[in-house]
Amino acid sequence: MTAPATIGGAIDVTDDTHGLDVTDNAVSGSVNVKRDAFSSESLTSLGLCPGCADASEVDGNTINGALICSGNPDGVFMDVLVGANVVHGATIDQCRNESTAK
């Protein structure tokens, strides 16, 4: 997603193979990232996150619903250069250990 954006509903990213990251958005609904095959390589190129080139990147968002991540083969990761998500709902499955603030 091109950031920052205000989303008046939910974000559902399913079966993505083109590197769509969910970063710096204000989301009124939930964010669901499911079976995302590829994502940002920005930290790997800086040498800051070896091995996470294909992890889904979900960070810097304000989410009024839940943050749900499942079936992402390389997990989900939060770019410390962008910052944590602020999640007002639950953080579920692969996102439950995602760095979030309430």
Q: Summarize pLDDT for 38-76 with one digit per residue, the tens.
A: 654 544 555 555 555 556 788 899 999 999 988 877 777
Helix intervals (H) in 1-57: 42-45
User: Which strands sit side by side in the sheet containing 76-77, from one edge to the other?
Assistant: 22-23, 56-59, 76-77
Using DSSP's 3-state secondary structure scheme, residue 42 falls into: helix
Give the count of domains, the chain. 1
- Domain range holding 66? 5-101
pTM above 0.85, yes or no: no
Phi, psi dihedrals of residue 5, rounded to the nearest 5°: -135, 150
Neighbours of 92 (CB within 10 A): 16
